[in-house]
Structure 1
Amino acid sequence: MTLISLKEYETFPPRKKKYDSQDERVEKLKQISLDPQDIKLQEELQSREILTINSNPYNNELQFTTQSHVGVAQFSNFTVAITPKFSEIGKLVELIDYVYDLDLEIFTDSEIEFEGEQNILSEIIISTFVKKCQKLIRQGLFKSYILRQDDVPFLRGKLLMPQQILNQAKIKLQFACEFDELEYDNLENQIILYCLKQSYKITINQERKSQIRKLIQNFSGMVSLKEISLDDFKKINYNQMNHHYRKIHELSKLIVNSMQIFDFYKQNTRFVNSFFVNMNNIFEKFVFKLFYEFYEYPAKEQQHYPSWMTEKKGRKIDTITDILIYEKNRSDVRTIIDTKYKPELTDNDRYQLAFYAHDYKKQEAYAILPEFTDSESDAFIATRQDVEIKIRHLNIDKALGLISLRNTRERNQKIQEMLDELLN
């Protein structure tokens, strides 16, 4: 299987720029082509702005364009692996672990070589998920009361009169009742069973597949297999009874989010091993967590409020700022921050930030982007509106290095200095 390795925000071969003729990918391009059964996956990847594949009309060679997703796509006769532009894949694992607080398992170099570097992200997430499921089984699964309606030989709960009249007409000697029953078949466990099924498709590790099969058997008969979407996670309220499900559900959410578009093929084919994470979401959460945990002023995330209303239908449209920094009184806005996981701002991004500044009656707003090799801080000034958009770049590798410092006082001080530098 031919492997094409790409970085985020890369076009290869480039449209206009010259490229290194010694690049091993040049020869690989001559060996691969899109199979008809790959068309649906190709279209879906493009529509989701993950990967665009075009064919050169002159030599029929494929051209790949990536954006802000990291992961692997399996086609019929080749694999595309997209890795982080800011660093190596191992740092991405550290980043995800810090953002979601997942206690991710860190593989050794020998394990990474065995698993295959292009699959390492999905394998680490699934390996951690499997271990947490095994621990959950040992602790005991969560039970909750489920509302049932059934004919029972004794009166239980509330009698359903319309159905009871039918039972009497049929001389059916049972009570039609509605009652609560303590069961394992709740949403908390349905999410885990669904993700175990998906993980079985994704992983290429045979030992891990065997572990997943055993876990699925433990759930079978007690928990219904249902299709799970990201909206289902919003329905769960965590309390003392189910709080130990929180981390395993965060892992489940990553699996569901990454698998949503790739369940095209039959389970017995290799093509289901496609897995991507959206770096936009991860970077936004990373920047917020840094400010929330280490900045001297209080930070709040995702402030929703209706800023537009349609004239005819009265429909409200929200404005959403990524991060607001408040004064120490926690009521007055000090700084507006919007995160953008991209090499540079677009015109629409600048207009959006200017709108935020105007809405909050501020004369400046900050755009924080990841620091890449050619990144350069800058500022845009809307002279007629007296609004300044400041562009700053965060070095993710440096930030992760500071987070890992064991000396708490030194860590807090250095991260505070880094954040101060970002906001001048």
Structure 2
Amino acid sequence: MQIPIQNVFYLLAYAWDQLEEAEALQVDCTAFDNAFALLAKVLANGTTHLLKRGLDRNYQEEETLTSQLRGKILFPASVKENTFARAAAYCAFDELSYDVLHNRLLKATFKRLAKEETLCPKIRQELHLILQRFPPEITPITVRPAVFRKIQLHRNNRQYKLLLSICELVWLRLLSTEQEGVHPFKDFLRDKKQMAYLFEKFLLNFYKRHLNREEWQVSAKQLSWQLTPVEDPSHSAYIPSMQTDISLISRHRHLVMDAKYYPKALKGQYDRDKIITNNLYQVFSYTQNITNAGGKQIEGILIYPEVSNSLSLSYKFTTGNNALIKICTVNLNQEWQDIESDLLKIV
């Protein structure tokens, strides 16, 4: 599926819920022919702005031998080395420092990308020059995916969120292709699991952003199977959870949207295109297990990304809760304004 690079960037910005921050960097997406180079450039521009404003600092405990007492005196170490005889002592005190985890990850990413042979020399040179501007006190770090879960951002350093999201994605791809000279993003758009997650998060945040919050509730909602144990109530524990990708609830409608990232929305069967059976079963299960709709029109929507053909099918169950079922596509190979318009028309 050949999605234009600029649209991939929008998908990422929405999925990370960082659209304004991404647009503020004013990167010409059309100047790049691959996602890796584009993300490196966005990272470079964003970090340049960050360095101009000043990197985030936090208090870090330091221990040092000093003749000017400050903070807490470390008596065991001072007595052991008899520092008092030299009118000095080991002390522990809090000092404002740039050596915090989010700065370490940024610096480590720049250091790695500046040596990445699959990036063009111009971008690598720009990354190298920015790297020289990081304070030397920021210590090296071994980057693993779990490290990103330890980052603590707040209102005063929220400008790091987009940059660290890029860093995390870059490292996930780099660590999965550690052979030198292998392009880490060559198969990014072919990674079905990665792109399925990206498409789902994009849709969720898109509707959160564009639907009127006073009229719509947008969330990933958990439903309960309408199954009651026949013999033992404890058997309920064996029933799996039912997590919707996106639930859209208004005064009169209860929509359940299931995002599917497949090469094709339909599957050939006996020389005829058919809706993918398992997908239809899944969205049907969602609609039939909504019990708290309160008279709202229940609708299940299967939505697929496309780059050429369009599809819009609608069906109605004539039994049960009279739910509507829609199967539709959104063309990601068009101007972004048209993509926005098409997505809003679906609901």
Cα deviation per residue 1:39-62 (whole Å; 9 max; x = unaligned)? xxxxxxxxxxxxxxxxxxxxxxxx
Select which of 76, 79, 84 maps to 1:168.
79
Change (3 A) 1:249 1:317: farther
Cα deviation per residue 1:270-329 (whole Å; 9 max; x = unaligned)? 225545253323322332344223335424233468989xx69x799754322121225x
Q: Which amino acid letter does the alignment assign opposite residue 132 of structure 1? A: G
Query: Map of 1:2-401 to 2, 5 A cutoff?
Result: 8=1, 83-84=2-3, 88-96=4-12, 100-101=18-19, 102-103=22-23, 105-106=27-28, 111-112=31-32, 117=33, 120-149=34-63, 152-159=66-73, 164-165=75-76, 167-173=78-84, 175-200=89-114, 201=116, 203-219=118-134, 221-262=136-177, 264-265=178-179, 269-275=180-186, 276-277=188-189, 278-296=194-212, 297-303=215-221, 319-328=242-251, 334-342=254-262, 343-344=264-265, 346-361=276-291, 364-374=299-309, 376-378=311-313, 389-397=325-333, 400-401=336-337
1:261 CA drift (Å): 0.8
1:222 CA drift (Å): 1.8
Other-structure match for 1:59: none
Residue pair 1:393, 1:422 contacting (<8 A) in 2 also:
no
Q: Normalization by structure 1: what TM-score?
A: 0.59
Seq. identity, % = 20
Residue pair 1:204, 1:273 contacting (<8 A) in 2 also:
no
- Specify the SS of the correspondent of 1:324: strand
Change (3 A) 1:177 1:301: farther
Q: Which amino acid letter does the alignment assign opposite residue 357 of structure 1? A: T
- Specify the SS of the correspondent of 1:141: coil
Residue pair 1:394, 1:422 contacting (<8 A) in 2 also:
no
Q: Which amino acid letter does the alignment assign opposite residue 346 of structure 2? A: L
In structure 1, C-alpha distance between the alignment counterparts of 2:70 and 2:47, rounded to whole Å: 35
In structure 2, C-alpha distance between the alignment counterparts of 1:318 and 1:145, rounded to whole Å: 43
Residue pair 2:224, 2:289 contacting (<8 A) in 1 also:
no
- Specify the SS of the correspondent of 2:304: strand
In structure 2, C-alpha distance between the alignment counterparts of 1:156 and 1:209, rounded to whole Å: 44
Cα deviation per residue 1:337-376 (whole Å; 9 max; x = unaligned)? 1211212375544444344334432654222112354554
Q: Which has the higher strand share?
A: 1
CA RMSD of aligned residues (A): 3.9
Cα deviation per residue 1:133-157 (whole Å; 9 max; x = unaligned)? 2232232221111234555545433
Q: Which amino acid letter does the alignment assign opposite residue 124 of structure 1? A: L
In structure 2, C-alpha distance between the alignment counterparts of 1:92 and 1:166, rounded to whole Å: 56
Residue pair 1:194, 1:228 contacting (<8 A) in 2 also:
yes
In structure 2, C-alpha distance between the alignment counterparts of 1:333 and 1:232, rounded to whole Å: 41
- Specify the SS of the correspondent of 1:260: helix
In structure 1, C-alpha distance between the alignment counterparts of 2:181 and 2:207, rounded to whole Å: 42
In structure 2, C-alpha distance between the alignment counterparts of 1:231 and 1:237, rounded to whole Å: 13
Other-structure match for 2:230: none
Change (3 A) 1:148 1:187: same
In structure 1, C-alpha distance between the alignment counterparts of 2:184 and 2:245, rounded to whole Å: 33
Other-structure match for 1:39: none
1:192 CA drift (Å): 0.9
In structure 2, C-alpha distance between the alignment counterparts of 1:147 and 1:350, rounded to whole Å: 57
For structure 1, list consecutive stretches of 5 or more residues without a partner in the other structure.
1-7, 9-82, 404-410
Other-structure match for 2:271: none
The number of equivalent residue pairs is 307
Q: Which has the higher contact order (CA 8 A, sep 6+)?
A: 2
Range moving further from structure 2, 239-248 or 148-157: 148-157
Residue pair 1:133, 1:248 contacting (<8 A) in 2 also:
yes
